[in-house]
């Protein structure tokens, strides 16, 4: 399978590119500065030149707070760039897999979000990623939209590495305890994305490691696993000074993938332990 991966140097892009090559897939990677997906004509022409069977569109502005200060830039990448990729995919009649986010929801649910639940993003990041979803759904017939959350891995800045570093340097860390989600290991995400892309089960899916926790509980687990002598103190969102609003509850229900493929991503605690100890081969579990 000839694959085009946009955002191929990012946290997920690097893992996915390496994973696909281990599966003996043919992989072409796009990233800045050589490939700017916001250049619509160049992007469409480039897709025709590559001739992929599937495009994994990961290129995105993911700095949630930074997007608040650069609405035009976030819109350009997350919407216009995605639209350009979708146009190229449709012209070539290839599959398109777009990775989206839990931040398309407002966090007011009292249960894990299902794919058909009403979206209502609170932040510029969430709004522009939803615009990207809509562009994909309206433009490219053979598409997958895969929403994930709280991503971490070794190829980019992330919460897990931030806590590891801080907890080794200072005696106390204040962490928000009233935001709940599902931490997801980038390496664990690669296989389900690949299985989706090999299928013809088009549509929207939620893909996260199993289970849920608050940022505070995640930080506690990181400190415990690393053996750091650091106190983790819970604070509420109002106390934390952040530019962009976050959903209080953004746990995603993975039922579509679970029912369709009979598999689910392993519990977040197990994935986190693998990442921190270096025994980090991503895997899924079969559903009984």
What is the Cα–Cα distance from 167 to 176, expressed in whole angstroms? Answer: 15
Largest CA distance in the chain: 56
Q: Which of the following is catalytic: 125, 185, 249, 275?
A: 125
What is the Cα–Cα distance from 4 to 30, expressed in whole angstroms? Answer: 7
As given in the structure block, the two tokens for residue 190 are 């690669």
Residue 125 catalytic? yes
How many angstroms separate the Cα of 170 from the Cα of each of 163, 174, 265? 10, 11, 33
How many angstroms separate the Cα of 25 from the Cα of each of 142, 146, 158, 187, 188? 20, 20, 28, 17, 18
As given in the structure block, the two tokens for residue 123 are 């932040």
How many angstroms separate the Cα of 33 from the Cα of each of 6, 8, 9, 45, 155? 12, 12, 11, 17, 18
Q: For residue 106, give the 3-state DSSP assignment.
A: coil
Residues in the chain: 288
State the alpha helices, DSSP H only, in 60-212: 64-69, 71-75, 82-92, 124-139, 159-169, 186-198
Continuous segment of H or E residues that includes residue 172: strand 172-176
DSSP character at residue 237: T
Active site residues: 125
């Amino acid at each position: 399978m000839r694959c085009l991966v946009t955002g191929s140097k990012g946290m997920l892009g690097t893992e996915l590119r390496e994973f696909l090559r281990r599966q003996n897939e043919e992989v072409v990677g796009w990233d800045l500065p050589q490939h700017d997906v916001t250049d619509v004509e160049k992007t469409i022409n480039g897709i025709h030149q590559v001739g992929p069977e599937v495009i994994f569109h990961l290129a995105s502005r993911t700095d949630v707070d930074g997007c608040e200060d650069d609405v035009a830039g976030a819109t350009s990448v997350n919407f216009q760039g995605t639209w350009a990729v979708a146009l190229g995919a449709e012209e070539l009649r290839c599959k398109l897999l777009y990775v989206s986010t839990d931040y398309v929801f407002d966090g007011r649910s009292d249960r894990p979000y299902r794919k058909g639940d009403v979206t209502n993003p609170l932040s510029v990041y969430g709004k522009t990623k939803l615009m990207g979803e809509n562009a994909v759904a309206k433009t490219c017939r053979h598409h997958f939209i895969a929403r994930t959350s709280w991503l971490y891995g070794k190829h980019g800045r992330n919460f897990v590495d931030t806590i590891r570093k801080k907890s080794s340097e200072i005696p106390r860390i204040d962490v928000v305890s009233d935001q709940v989600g599902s931490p997801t290991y980038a390496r664990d995400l690669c296989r389900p994305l690949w299985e989706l892309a090999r299928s013809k089960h088009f549509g929207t899916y939620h893909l996260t490691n199993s289970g849920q926790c608050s940022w505070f509980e995640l930080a506690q687990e990181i400190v415990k696993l690393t053996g750091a002598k650091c106190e983790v103190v819970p604070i509420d969102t109002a106390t934390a000074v952040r530019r962009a609003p976050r959903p209080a509850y953004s746990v995603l229900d993975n039922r579509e993938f679970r029912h369709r493929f009979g598999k689910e991503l392993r519990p977040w605690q197990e994935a986190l332990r693998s990442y921190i100890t270096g025994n980090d081969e991503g895997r899924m579990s079969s559903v009984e």
